[in-house]
Amino acid sequence: MAKEKVIISAALTGAITPKELNPNIPLTPEEIANDAYECWKAGAAVVHLHMRDEEGLGTMNKELFKKTVELIKSKCDVVINCTTSGDHRASDDDRMAHLPYVKPEMASFDVGTFNWLPQVVFMNTPEFLHKLGKTMIENDVKPEIEIFDLGQMNAAEFFIKKGALNAPAHFQFVLGVPGAAQATVENLVYLVNQLPEGSTWSALGVGRGHLPILFAAIALGGNVRVGLEDNVYFSKGRLASNVELIARAADAIRLADKEVATPDEARQILGLKRV
């Protein structure tokens, strides 16, 4: 019997964490592309991309997305997943302008608004989400439905019923963000039990929740996301690199008697249209 395949997503950069906190965080298109390539070699089937401007702040500049994506594609066949929430200053149109321009295979769909403590309102209005979903459908971009809190599964079901999202859907459980659901195994189990039939899913734990959610997701039959966007430490007091976090996730998958999915296997599992 073939072993179960597990997709590793590498969240390389994020929109906020400064290089001063961990010098391994890639910021430029060249740095991000090089990290993506190294993570692909270590077992990542998907890379989740944010862009940074010259000051190191998150930006939705579509030219930076295009340059970075082209650099990555010149190096490897990893699945590319672009953020749609990389800059709190961006307008709704700015947040999705790169999708028809770059046409990534996947992009994030942050399904609800909440207070990202201590002081940021993470704004995702129903109007924006309907428009975002339509843009993704028109451009054959697979939404990765980002779930930060327990009740957001109801919102995802709403947008599926309204046709803004197609089924079967893919979910990313983002646990441990201040102001949203804590990174506990109990919360992960609850969310998995709410999944619509036929869905695929992945999970991550922010910061100290990284390892418990990594191991629980593998045990529960899900996929995993790791990377410096979510956690800058490999262990207490020791800074990580993206490649180290990918390699550890790959080792954990193999120790669970499962196999690390290749990019093309991930495409098949996720039902992506461009292979």
Contact 224, 8 (CB under 8 A): yes
SS3 at position 197 = coil
What pLDDT score does 2 carry?
A: 78
How far, CA to CA in Å, does 132 sit from each of 20, 83, 93, 224, 227? 33, 12, 9, 24, 25
Query: Which pLDDT value is given to residue 30?
Result: 98
- Round to whole Å and give the CA distance between 83 and 81: 7
Q: What is the mean pLDDT of residues 242-266?
A: 98
Compute φ and ψ for 166, nearest 5 degrees.
-90, 150
Q: Distance between CA atoms of 44 and 269, rounded to whole angstroms?
A: 14
Which residue ranges make up each domain of the chain?
Answer: 5-269
Instruction: Return the pLDDT at 274.
Output: 61
- Nearest of 176, 214, 223, 215 to residue 195 by alpha carbon: 223
Contact present, 195 and 171 (Cβ < 8 Å): yes
Provide the token pair at 29: 């298109």
- Quick check: 275 pLDDT over 60? no
**CATH class, 5-269 region:** alpha beta
First to last CA, the chain: 25
Amino acid at 155: A
pLDDT tens figures, 136-177 = 999 999 999 999 999 999 999 999 999 999 999 999 999 999
> Taking 90 as the threshold, does the pLDDT of residue 1 lie above it?
no
Residue in 149, 135, 212, 203 with CA at minimum distance from that of residue 177 = 149
Ramachandran area for residue 55 (φ above 0: left; ψ -120 to 50: alpha; else beta) = alpha
> What pLDDT digit, counting tens, does each position of 63-102 carry?
999 999 999 999 999 999 999 998 989 999 999 999 999 9
Per-residue confidence (pLDDT) for residue 78, from 0 to 100: 98
Residue range 21-69, pLDDT digits in tens = 999 999 999 999 999 999 999 999 999 999 999 999 999 999 999 999 9
Q: In angstroms, rounded to a whole number, what is the distance separating the alpha carbons of residues 89 and 195?
A: 32
| 275 CA to centre of own chain | 19
List the one residue out of 39, 104, 43, 96 whose CA is nearest residue 68: 104
The answer to whether 12 and 35 are in contact (CB under 8 A) is: yes
Q: Which pTM value belongs to this model?
A: 0.97
pLDDT of residue 72: 98
Statement: residue 106 has pLDDT above 50: yes
Closest CA to 142 of 182, 214, 202: 202
